Amino acid sequence: MFGSKYKCPHHRYSARIITRRPLIIYIEKFLTQNEMQHLIELAEKEFKPSTTTIAGGKPAINKYRTSSSAFIRPHQTPVVQCIERRFAQFQGDVNVQCIEPLQVSVASPGLTAAQDSFYEKSLVVC
């Protein structure tokens, strides 16, 4: 779909703060339709049941969390690289190596969007 000569699209998105604690920012039109489709195609073969964290920081499957998630390998394709650069710029032009891997989630049938939140206890600067 996208070759090595892929050029990052120049488009505008808008952002608004929903709440400051926990910080939730709604970013409208951050991804193009083609980028969304590309991420879905990359994720389709990687989906695994979403986990929660239990005592000791270990991941565990929870019967109440019924979504599936897939992490996209950093810099996997030129499209992923464009999205990573855009997100690094959104965060104040941080080093693209410091952002977390992109994640695609899908809700189980009958469910809509999921909400995950936590309060930061410390700030780690990459």
For residue 116, being part of any structural domain is answered with: no
The number of beta carbons lying within 10 Å of the beta carbon of residue 104 is 18
Strand runs labelled E in the chain: 14-20, 23-28, 48-49, 52-54, 58-60, 68-71, 103-106
Q: pTM of the prediction?
A: 0.75
Helix (H/G/I), strand (E/B), else coil: 88: helix
Q: Are 2 and 39 in contact (CB under 8 A)?
A: no
For residue 126, being part of any structural domain is answered with: no
For residue 117, being part of any structural domain is answered with: no
For residue 4, being part of any structural domain is answered with: no
Q: How many domains does the chain have?
A: 1
For residue 44, being part of any structural domain is answered with: yes
For residue 96, being part of any structural domain is answered with: yes
Q: Which domain holds residue 74?
A: 14-106
Structure confidence by residue, pLDDT tens digits, 56-91:
888 888 877 778 899 999 999 999 999 999 999 999
Structure confidence by residue, pLDDT tens digits, 50-61:
888 888 888 888
For residue 62, being part of any structural domain is answered with: yes
For residue 8, being part of any structural domain is answered with: no
Dist. CA 51–CA 49, nearest whole Å: 6
Q: Are 100 and 124 in contact (CB under 8 A)?
A: no
Dist. CA 31–CA 117, nearest whole Å: 22
